[in-house]
Amino acid sequence: MERQITESRAGKASNSADSTEKFGFIWNLRKGRIESSFEQFFKKLSTGSFPLFAALIAAIIWGNLSSDGYKTFWHTEISIAFGSLHIEKSLAHWIDEALMTLFFFLVGLEIKREIIIGELSSFKKALLPVAAAAGGMIVPAAIYAYFNSNTPAAGGWGIPMATDIAFSLAVLAVLGRKVPFGISVFLSAFAIADDLGAVLIIAIFYTETILWGYLLIAAFFLCGLFLANFLWIKKPMVYVVLGIGLWIAFLGSGIHATIAGVLVAMCIPARGKYDTATFITNIRKHLNDFQCDTDECGYTILLNKNHLDAVHNIELSCHDVETPLQRFEYSLHIWVAFMILPLFALANSGIAFGQMDIGKAFTDSIMYGIVLGLVLGKPIGIFLFTFLTAKLVNAPLMGGVKWRHIFGASMLGGIGFTMSLFISGLSFPDGQMAEIAKLGIILGSLISGVIGIIVLSLSDNKSG
């Protein structure tokens, strides 16, 4: 688009300039300097995994240096009062139920974007990722249930079902060009479908008591959000106010409040003020205001009011064509990646090895269920369901992707850190079972990541 606009202003371009421009575009593309929206999404997620990993290490160190201090700090009670309304929860619970709502909101935005324009936007494109996500949830849950049915730990069957998209894509980023880029698209697509499944499981199976009065209030706010979307309201504050109301209603209803984040995301408009054609027309018109004679343009736009107005109008045009979904996603990502998820990991990953019988922990049924669910269940389920679906409906793999790449990505699907920890907190609020579950999640995710790296490193993406 930029090239077309430039040519329309200049009126002509030489053949040699065209050749240079084409060559430069190809070279920059190969060098990774021109990025698609997915590549930017991929880079953001993979980069955001590093503070999360640092928080995990810090939590383990803190939990072992001062176990009592670690627990006391995160169990500090914090209360919020609005007249007769009084909410009191521990610091860890505020992180899990308030800050993590923003994480689930971001997950919801990513799901909506994938459904509208991404790898889940059509039945044909979504078939393999959805099949992979289904297999990656069913088989690990079955393995966990096999080891823990009819025991006090039976409720943790949802723990090994999740895939941590940030950590898994970070591993692919480390491998770089050793794997085809299509495998990154496949992995992110089935991880997002996996997140949607995890959200549904939390809403349906990890809700003990429902207070219908609060749920009716939540329905009122949700209708307001749908109405705002229907009326094409673009003001972010409208969705923020209604979203906070929905979150408070869910907090009192008994359904986990983070589900409100996903519901709000589904109501965020995915269209700008006008379409792309109108945007291009406006930009061309404003660019014409930059016409000036040789050496009369000046070294700053402040010297020319027409240039100053043109830049302002171009900025407004860019803002108007951008969707609220984009603005929310871009503005929230840095906060989620560099503050919310690290805080969640810091508050939930501390394991006091000195207070744990390691021998018993490694032979506990919870450990078997989680580790085997992540290391064996996830890759078996993902690969098997993908393979069967591809063969049954003759669905092709993406360009350059071979079945050994799918197997490697299936192993990376066993990295279940963030969502697994979240479901673990719902399954085992505290005590020895919670500590064993944390250890199992970290161990299973680590093993899955290492094996995934080895498998993908040995895969030659150029061979048949």
Q: Which residue has the higher pLDDT, 80 or 7?
A: 80
Residue 224 placed within a domain: no
Residue where a domain stops, chosen among 292, 321, 350: 321
The verdict on 346 and 292 lying in the same domain is no
Q: Tokens 């199976």 belong to which residue?
A: 205
261-274 pLDDT tens trace: 999 999 999 888 77
pLDDT, position 237? 93
pLDDT, position 274? 78
101-160 pLDDT tens trace: 999 999 899 889 888 888 788 888 889 999 999 999 999 999 999 999 999 999 999 999
Residue 402 placed within a domain: yes
Average pLDDT, the chain: 84
Residue 134 placed within a domain: yes
By residue range, what is the domain housing residue 442? Answer: 37-72+123-178+340-464
Q: For the residues 17-29, what does the mean pLDDT come to?
A: 37
Residue 438 placed within a domain: yes
pLDDT at 2 over 50: no
The verdict on 432 and 460 lying in the same domain is yes
3-state helix vs strand vs coil in the chain, percent to 5: 75, 5, 20
How many whole angstroms separate alpha carbon 129 and alpha carbon 116? 15
Q: For the residues 72-99, what does the mean pLDDT come to?
A: 87
Lowest mean pLDDT among 5-9, 370-374, 391-395, 447-451: 5-9
How many whole angstroms separate alpha carbon 368 and alpha carbon 143? 9
Residue 210 placed within a domain: no
Residue 371 placed within a domain: yes
Q: For the residues 63-78, what does the mean pLDDT come to?
A: 92
Q: For the residues 40-44, what does the mean pLDDT come to?
A: 58
The verdict on 279 and 310 lying in the same domain is yes
pLDDT at 72 over 90: yes
pLDDT, position 43? 60
Query: Residue 131, CB half-sphere, CA atoms under 13 Å: how many?
Result: 19
Name the domain count of the chain: 2
Residue where a domain stops, chosen among 321, 355, 375: 321
The verdict on 380 and 455 lying in the same domain is yes
The verdict on 307 and 399 lying in the same domain is no
Q: 40 falls in which pLDDT band (50, 70, 90)?
A: low
How many whole angstroms separate alpha carbon 114 and alpha carbon 120? 5
Residue 335 placed within a domain: no
Indicate if the alpha-carbon torsion angle 87, 88, 91, 95 is positive or negative.
negative
312-365 pLDDT tens trace: 888 888 888 888 898 898 889 889 989 999 999 999 999 888 778 888 999 999
191-205 pLDDT tens trace: 888 988 988 899 888
The verdict on 311 and 347 lying in the same domain is no
CA distances from 31 to 25, 26, 28, 42, 185 (A): 10, 9, 5, 16, 19
pLDDT at 463 over 60: no
Residue 401 placed within a domain: yes
Q: What percent of the chain has pLDDT over 70?
A: 87
The verdict on 172 and 281 lying in the same domain is no
How many whole angstroms separate alpha carbon 141 and alpha carbon 148? 10
pLDDT at 457 over 60: yes
Q: Which residue has the higher pLDDT, 227 or 6?
A: 227
pLDDT, position 462? 46
The verdict on 58 and 147 lying in the same domain is yes
pLDDT, position 298? 67
The verdict on 64 and 163 lying in the same domain is yes
pTM over 0.95: no
pLDDT at 11 over 70: no
The verdict on 401 and 364 lying in the same domain is yes
Q: For the residues 201-215, what does the mean pLDDT come to?
A: 87
Among 464, 463, 456, which residue's Cα sits nearest to residue 173?
456
pLDDT at 229 over 90: yes
CA distances from 207 to 159, 194, 244, 438 (A): 15, 19, 20, 21
The verdict on 395 and 447 lying in the same domain is yes
Crossing angle of helices 181-205/417-427, nearest 10°? 10
* CATH code, domain carrying 133: 1.20.1530.10
Question: Are 140 and 374 spatial neighbours (Cβ–Cβ below 8 Å)?
Answer: yes
pLDDT at 299 over 60: yes
The verdict on 351 and 425 lying in the same domain is yes
Reduced to 3 states (helix: H, G, I; strand: E, B; else coil), residue 390 is helix
pLDDT, position 241? 96
pLDDT, position 294? 61
Q: What percent of the chain has pLDDT over 90?
A: 45
